[in-house]
Amino acid sequence: MADDTSAYEKLGVFYLGRAYDLDKGEAQAEPLLYDSRDLVTHAVMVGMTGSGKTGLMLALLEEAAIDKIPALVIDPKGDLGNLLLTFPDLKPADFAPWVDPDAAARAGVTPEEFAAQQAETWRKGLAQWGQSGERIARLREAADFAIYTPGSEAGLPISILSSLAAPPPEVVDDGDLLRDRVQTVVSSLLALLEIESDPMRGREHILLSNIFDQAWRAGRSLDLAGLIQQIQKPPIDRIGVLDLETFYPAKERFELAMAFNSLLGSPGFGAWMQGEPLDVDHLLYTPTGKPRIAILSISHLSDRERMFFVSLLLEQAIGWMRSRPGTTSLRALICMDEVFGYMPPVANPPSKRPLLTLLKQARAFGLGLVLATQNPVDLDYKGLSNVGTWFLGRLQTERDKERLMDGLEGAAGGGLDRATLERILSRLGNRIFLLHNVHEDAPVVFQCRWAMSYLRGPLTRPEIKRLTDPLKGKAPAPAPPVQATAAPAPATPAPAAPSKGLASAAPVLPPEISQRFLPVRSRPEATVYESALFAAVAVHFIEEKKGVDHAEELSLLAPLGDEVDWSSAETVDLGKEDLEEEPVEGASFGELPDAAARARSYDGWRKQLEDTLFRTRRCELFRSPSLDALSQPGESERDFRIRLGDLARQKRDAQVEALRKKHAPKVAQLQDRARGQTWNTVISTGTAVLGALFGGGRRRSTFSQAGTAARGFGRTLQERQDVARAEENLDALQKQLTELNAELETEVASLEARLDPTTEELEVLGLKPRRKDVEVRLLTLAWAPRDLTP
């Protein structure tokens, strides 16, 4: 059977299944297409065990992957790893290593025979849903798939160390975000140690929060060893109005330190510290910028460990999200199956706050959450009120149904008629869902399409190992190791001559020579300053034709001798406003080379600096010809490609929306004329693109803007029957629809061929500054503290 899914793929709609007729008990021809952009308002899937939630989540993830949307997939049961079981050839031999031998035994056949049966079931199942091995190949091509196993070496290992690292500036600079991050990290650490401590009153919680807060504000990362040390010797001496010893005596702090120490020393804990850092950007995209479906398998962990990991991951996701520019398109997904216990209505486990934050804020960043659970009362309704899409599946009991409807009335903000809802919910079968989407006019019942992945069920650890071992060799280079020590003040460049004696005051110099003091960050017993040259410079890169106008500003610190070699200067993260006019008290000073005491020398050094900058500073930029986009200075090729992916999708979405707007009046008119005919029957035949763009005509925004012609949609049954008297020739109508479809097809075909920024050849521009665009804003003698800590 022909694969008729390619039209959807071009248009950014997810093919989730087909409309389902509950009366006839069969799927209809009309595909159920879901606009990917609607996911930015998140989705919740509800249904009893076996209702098909996991299958639906997999189908949705497959669609996302085809659209190159990466995802973090939190998998508490182990069956989402089935996403790695995709076999484009659908051969029995592909299935054989993965079939469940017990299932084969139950079926009374050999595993080989069973594999052949399964392969056949999948081939048929897919064909029935208009899919083929070709689409599976497309799926595998579009994204990378990997299983990570925190705390275990079965899958790809992942290290939680980086969660203790200082958050990015986007988080630190936002008081609320920093407080939340501190609180989540502390709560999850304490939960892992089984220490009950209230965030407001518990002294363990308060002490740890103070330690993290102080370290992170100063841009310092911690590790467990560092934390243990700081618990014993905190960098603070007061908590509120109390002195530390009164608040939390050293002897008792020692016990807390020991608890962390035992954790650190426990066998198995090492696995938490190995592997790629828990870094959302590196989970979501490969080193070349290809999107990844990162499955975080946590089924092997204890409840405490799961909570610990999930909370840390969600916090990292918030930090990642905040570091991205806003978008209106879907950029990435966070999916979580069996979310029971992570966002409960009353209790406050560490995961709850980050989940609520994400539900509230992620939309602006194009990050969609998809949560699945057996019962919506498991979920806090403050969070649910932000959810725009509901997939409601079969429920076990009347009581569950009642509670779901109560919850929906509160959360989904009405729009659903309770009686109708109740009637529908009672009749749903497995894999059949009622879709309520706030962006659509009416709810629709559909059957989930066949999954491309082989739904084998939960994977065992050895199976995960087998699946991921081949990936381990080519595991991406880990991000630079997290520095667990205090960020030192910029190291003093090696003095040209070994310092002889130290002076107790800065030298007295002619007034034309300015001298400044670099800030002392870590306060050793006594500060020793060494002399150096500090320069604040700006280099402009201007290339009008390419629209580049970039000013690079940097500060340099060069070792000072009788000669100065600017090419060995270090860049330092200090502005000229950071320099002090006075040294710290009690400091001593290294030797000053004679040349530095002569004002003339500085003119020469300035000239040399200008020359060096002119000769050596280059600004390398990448350009995407297809999107006519330039990388930002300092943006890596990988990051640029990731951004291009977002841009391409945003552009595509805008084009599709324009196409919809343009044709909506006409479609509305035709639909109006369908009158007594159900729209579904006329639209279904040979009108794939029309269907993909307009679905069942439920799209709210499009049609409300289509003006008066759209009136027909709101008609009551009575009105429809009235008009139906003037029955029109169905054939004529269908002909018109087919024509319109053909027209749309041409327009869709002329939409730019799907761009693939992960493989597109990029131009590389190496820009040079013009001589006059090199500017030395400040050149001064600078005294830099010699770092006395080892």
Ligand X SMILES: Nc1ncnc2c1ncn2[C@@H]1O[C@H](COP(=O)(O)OP(=O)(O)O)[C@@H](O)[C@H]1O
* Smallest gap from residue 54 Cβ to Mg ion (A): 3
Enter the DSSP assignment of 453: S
End-to-end CA distance of the chain: 70
Within 10 A of 18 (CB to CB), how many other CB atoms are there?
22
* Smallest gap from residue 376 Cβ to Mg ion (A): 15
* Smallest gap from residue 449 Cβ to ligand X (A): 6
* Closer to ligand X by Cβ: residue 78 or 319: 78
* Closer to ligand X by Cβ: residue 56 or 208: 56
Q: Which residues pair with 623 in a beta bridge?
A: 630, 763
* Closer to Mg ion by Cβ: residue 5 or 54: 54
* Closer to ligand X by Cβ: residue 345 or 457: 457
394 touches, from Mg ion, ligand X, none (C-beta below 5 to 8 Å by class): none
451 touches, from ligand X, Mg ion, none (C-beta below 5 to 8 Å by class): ligand X
> Could you tell me if 292 and 143 are in contact, meaning their C-beta atoms sit under 8 angstroms apart?
yes
Site string for Mg ion, 34-63 (x = CB under 5 A): --------------------x---------
383 touches, from Mg ion, ligand X, none (C-beta below 5 to 8 Å by class): none
How distant is the alpha carbon of residue 656 from its chain centre?
Answer: 25
Helix, strand or coil, per DSSP, at residue 396: coil
* Closer to ligand X by Cβ: residue 76 or 368: 76
* Closer to Mg ion by Cβ: residue 54 or 316: 54
* Smallest gap from residue 451 Cβ to ligand X (A): 4
* Closer to ligand X by Cβ: residue 51 or 86: 51
* Smallest gap from residue 196 Cβ to ligand X (A): 33
By CB under 5 A, is residue 327 in contact with Mg ion? no
Crossing angle of helices 250-265 and 203-217, rounded to 10°: 70
* Smallest gap from residue 28 Cβ to ligand X (A): 17
291 touches, from Mg ion, ligand X, none (C-beta below 5 to 8 Å by class): none
> Could you tell me if 382 and 356 are in contact, meaning their C-beta atoms sit under 8 angstroms apart?
yes
* Smallest gap from residue 77 Cβ to ligand X (A): 8
561 touches, from ligand X, Mg ion, none (C-beta below 5 to 8 Å by class): none
Binding site for ligand X (CB under 6 A): 47, 49-55, 59, 125, 431, 448, 450-451, 455, 457
* Closer to Mg ion by Cβ: residue 54 or 132: 54
* Smallest gap from residue 56 Cβ to ligand X (A): 7
* Closer to ligand X by Cβ: residue 50 or 270: 50
455 touches, from ligand X, Mg ion, none (C-beta below 5 to 8 Å by class): ligand X
633 touches, from ligand X, Mg ion, none (C-beta below 5 to 8 Å by class): none
101 touches, from ligand X, Mg ion, none (C-beta below 5 to 8 Å by class): none
Residue with tokens 């639909």: 671
* Smallest gap from residue 450 Cβ to ligand X (A): 4
219 touches, from ligand X, Mg ion, none (C-beta below 5 to 8 Å by class): none
> Could you tell me if 449 and 59 are in contact, meaning their C-beta atoms sit under 8 angstroms apart?
yes
* Closer to ligand X by Cβ: residue 460 or 681: 460
Interface of this chain with Mg ion, residues 461 to 520, rule: CB under 5 A: none
* Smallest gap from residue 386 Cβ to Mg ion (A): 23
C-alpha span between 332 and 284 (Å, rounded) = 8
C-alpha span between 282 and 475 (Å, rounded) = 11
Distances from the Cα of 278 to the Cα of 68, 446, 457, 481, angstroms: 21, 37, 26, 12
55 touches, from ligand X, Mg ion, none (C-beta below 5 to 8 Å by class): ligand X
> Cβ-count burial of 732 within 10 angstroms (0-12 exposed, 13-18 middle, 19+ buried)?
exposed
C-alpha span between 781 and 593 (Å, rounded) = 11
* Smallest gap from residue 48 Cβ to Mg ion (A): 10
* Smallest gap from residue 125 Cβ to ligand X (A): 6
* Closer to ligand X by Cβ: residue 49 or 288: 49
User: Phi and psi dihedrals of 647, rounded to 5?
Assistant: -65, -45
* Smallest gap from residue 133 Cβ to ligand X (A): 16
Residue 206's identity, in one-letter code, is I
* Closer to ligand X by Cβ: residue 39 or 206: 39
Sign of the Cα pseudo-torsion (396, 399, 402, 404, in order) = negative
List, in sequence order, the alpha helices (H) in 203-348.
Answer: 203-217, 224-232, 244-247, 250-265, 280-284, 303-322
- In this structure, the strands spanning 763-767 and 242-243 are unpaired
* Closer to Mg ion by Cβ: residue 76 or 443: 76
* Closer to Mg ion by Cβ: residue 46 or 224: 46
- In this structure, the strands spanning 292-297 and 71-75 are parallel
C-alpha span between 56 and 67 (Å, rounded) = 17
Token pair in block for residue 97: 């290593």
Token pair in block for residue 364: 């602006």
Size of the chain in residues: 790
Q: Which long-range contacts (CB under 8 A, 24 or more apart) does 123-128 make?
A: 123/90, 125/450, 126/90, 126/450, 126/452, 127/1, 128/1, 128/450
* Closer to ligand X by Cβ: residue 30 or 653: 30
HSE (side-chain half, CA atoms, 13 Å) at 418: 12
- Name the residue whose CB lies closest to Mg ion: 54
C-alpha span between 547 and 526 (Å, rounded) = 51
448 touches, from ligand X, Mg ion, none (C-beta below 5 to 8 Å by class): ligand X
C-alpha span between 682 and 351 (Å, rounded) = 48
C-alpha span between 553 and 537 (Å, rounded) = 6
97 touches, from Mg ion, ligand X, none (C-beta below 5 to 8 Å by class): none
784 touches, from ligand X, Mg ion, none (C-beta below 5 to 8 Å by class): none
* Smallest gap from residue 136 Cβ to ligand X (A): 13
* Closer to ligand X by Cβ: residue 63 or 610: 63
Sign of the Cα pseudo-torsion (575, 581, 585, 587, in order) = positive
> Cβ-count burial of 367 within 10 angstroms (0-12 exposed, 13-18 middle, 19+ buried)?
buried
* Closer to ligand X by Cβ: residue 192 or 459: 459
Within 10 A of 712 (CB to CB), how many other CB atoms are there?
21
458 touches, from ligand X, Mg ion, none (C-beta below 5 to 8 Å by class): none
* Smallest gap from residue 73 Cβ to ligand X (A): 14
220 touches, from ligand X, Mg ion, none (C-beta below 5 to 8 Å by class): none
* Smallest gap from residue 4 Cβ to ligand X (A): 18
* Smallest gap from residue 391 Cβ to ligand X (A): 10
* C-alpha dihedral (674, 675, 679, 682), degrees to nearest 10: -40
50 touches, from ligand X, Mg ion, none (C-beta below 5 to 8 Å by class): ligand X
Distances from the Cα of 394 to the Cα of 80, 92, 201, 369, 455, angstroms: 20, 33, 44, 22, 19
674 touches, from Mg ion, ligand X, none (C-beta below 5 to 8 Å by class): none
- Name the residue whose CB lies closest to ligand X: 55
Residue 43's identity, in one-letter code, is A
List, in sequence order, the alpha helices (H) in 675-729.
Answer: 679-683, 688-694, 700-704, 717-724
- Residues of the shown chain interacting with Mg ion in the complex, contacts defined by CB under 5 A: 54
